[in-house]
Amino acid sequence: MATERQIAANRHNARKSTGPRSRAGKARTRRNAQTHGLAARLVSNSEREASIETLARDIVGGASEIIGLVAARAAARAEYDLVQIREVKTELIQLVASATTATCKPPQTAADANVVEPMLRQLVKIDRYERAATARRQRAIEALAEQHRLERRSWRFLP
């Protein structure tokens, strides 16, 4: 149980960490995820959705189980996200490579490091999106595998 003193300290600290208050600060934080566009969800890209649906149908094969189709759609969506993430990652790696090969040596000066460091920080951030998409795909595949195990188990009891 928190004491009154701890509660007062928590409230005091919470008042200090409310985020940006100025217009410029709010605008800056609004643009945080716009660097690479990976945080944005594509709402209505009909071509992408048709491709996802085709891949999902290929994954489930002839099965018409709604649970399997939902899991297959999640796996297909995650797979397409991974493709997009890896394209962005490849572009960044090529930028880093071109920046470092221009000098043909590792960054020696602070100016050299200032060119490469932001790109490397972006690569670290992109890894977070890649791990999340990989985990979503893995969960969907595990759900499909479980659905398949349940279907096979029920086949054994058919007359």
> How many Cβ atoms are within 10 Å of 139's Cβ, its own excluded?
14
pLDDT at 13: 87
CA distance 95 to 33: 20
Interatomic CA distance for residues 4 and 92, integer angstroms: 50
Q: What is the pLDDT of residues 47-89, one digit of tens each?
A: 888 999 999 988 888 666 777 889 999 999 999 999 999 998 9
Pick the most confident of 44-48, 88-92, 109-113, 134-138: 134-138
Q: Are 58 and 127 in contact (CB under 8 A)?
A: no
CA 75 to each of CA 61, 72, 80, 124, 145: distance values in angstroms, whole numbers, following the listed order: 14, 5, 9, 24, 12
Q: Which of 27-31, 57-61, 129-133 has the highest mean pLDDT?
A: 129-133
